[in-house]
Amino acid sequence: MKKPIPKIDMFKNYVGQLVFRICVFLFLVWAYFFKHEYFDLIITKSEELKWEAMGFTVEEMKNILYSQASIWWVWAIWAIFMLHMISQMIPESKYITMGSRKNFAKHYQPVENFDKLEMYQYVQRNNLGAVWTLLAWLGLNGIIGALYVFEIIGIPELILVTGAYFVCDLICVVIWCPFQRYFIKNRCCVNCRIFNWGYFMIFTPMLFIRNFFTWSLFFTSVVLLIRWEVTLIRYPERFWEGSNKVLQCENCQDKICKQKGMKLFDEQGHIIKLKKAKEN
């Protein structure tokens, strides 16, 4: 006889992940102020050219960098990030919310005779909110990129920004989300149109740092985003509560809106109802 699989308290799980991410960010802040040489491990092609101009060969540069005992933390953080992204590609993962898993056919529970026109209107509204979100995000990070290009900030600052995004990603899930409030206007994270955009948004600053660690994370996040968007285009019924039963409040098993509450908006985008999730 198989033992019953213990139920995951998704809210506590995400709070725990938020605490962990805060610890990672605090480590980066500590390294920034007290072990600034750690950031020399994250070099770009332009930095390599400077080293070559100083007389170092590529092999000598690698020996200098990888001989440092502190290189383990770069690989450790890279592996943590990569494993988190891979977990969002696995439909059986029980440690991520339905907001991330709803794109998989396994989790689609069709509503009989749903209104397809209403579904496409819903998708259209969400797509418009997603476009505004993307423009706002690219605008913000365009400013950060310009500061880097003009050498007002450097690689360490870009890494700190990424760390801050890593924390803010779960603040949006657990506490308060500006994208929900001002752009998407979704009821909760389980119904969020851009839930799997998280890692793309986290790693956007990494695009400006050209090496294996940064680009592998950024472009993996892009693959995750493209996979999400293609699935939404092909199977929009999986993303709407009116056509997918698992996204309806009465069927929700995650209850991750315990703190920030479920939000309902009127046609003008104003909040008309705010309700906390009930305990099971």
Read off the pLDDT of residues 229-277 as tens digits, 9 standing for 90 and up.
999 999 999 999 999 999 998 898 888 988 887 777 766 566 676 666 5
Residue linked to tokens 């913000």: 140
Asked if residue 93 has pLDDT above 90, the reply is: no
Q: How confident is the model at residue 89 (pLDDT cuts 50, 70, 90)?
A: confident
Report the alpha-carbon distance of residue 156 to residue 161 in Å, rounded.
9
Element (H, E) at 171: helix 155-174
Angle at which helix 58-66 crosses helix 45-53, to 10 degrees, equals 110
Asked if residue 4 has pLDDT above 50, the reply is: no
Report the alpha-carbon distance of residue 132 to residue 129 in Å, rounded.
5
Report the alpha-carbon distance of residue 163 to residue 224 in Å, rounded.
19
Residue type, 91: P
205, 161 Cβ separation under 8 angstroms: yes
Q: How confident is the model at residue 34 (pLDDT cuts 50, 70, 90)?
A: confident
Give the mean model confidence (pLDDT) for residues 183-209: 93
Give the start-end residues of each E strand in 89-242: none
pLDDT value for 102: 93
How close are the terminal C-alpha atoms of the chain, in Å? 27
Alpha-helical segments (H) within 35-106 = 45-53, 58-66, 71-87, 98-101
pTM over 0.75: yes
Pull the structure tokens for residue 68. 């440092």
Report the alpha-carbon distance of residue 119 to residue 113 in Å, rounded.
12
Asked if residue 1 has pLDDT above 50, the reply is: no
Report the alpha-carbon distance of residue 116 to residue 175 in Å, rounded.
33
pLDDT value for 55: 73
Asked if residue 6 has pLDDT above 50, the reply is: no
Q: How confident is the model at residue 128 (pLDDT cuts 50, 70, 90)?
A: very high
Report the alpha-carbon distance of residue 87 to residue 82 in Å, rounded.
9
Between CA 74 and CA 81, with CA 77 as vertex, the angle to 5 degrees is 135
Pull the structure tokens for residue 225. 């985003």
- Tell me which range, 40-44, 72-76, 232-236, is most confidently predicted by mean pLDDT: 232-236
pLDDT value for 245: 95
- How much is the CA Rg of the chain, to the nearest whole Å? 21
Asked if residue 209 has pLDDT above 80, the reply is: yes
pLDDT value for 76: 81
Q: How confident is the model at residue 5 (pLDDT cuts 50, 70, 90)?
A: very low
| Closest by Cα among 206, 199, 121 to 159 | 206
Phi/psi-derived region of residue 210, left when phi > 0, alpha when psi is between -120 and 50, beta in every other case: beta
Asked if residue 69 has pLDDT above 80, the reply is: no
pLDDT value for 139: 97
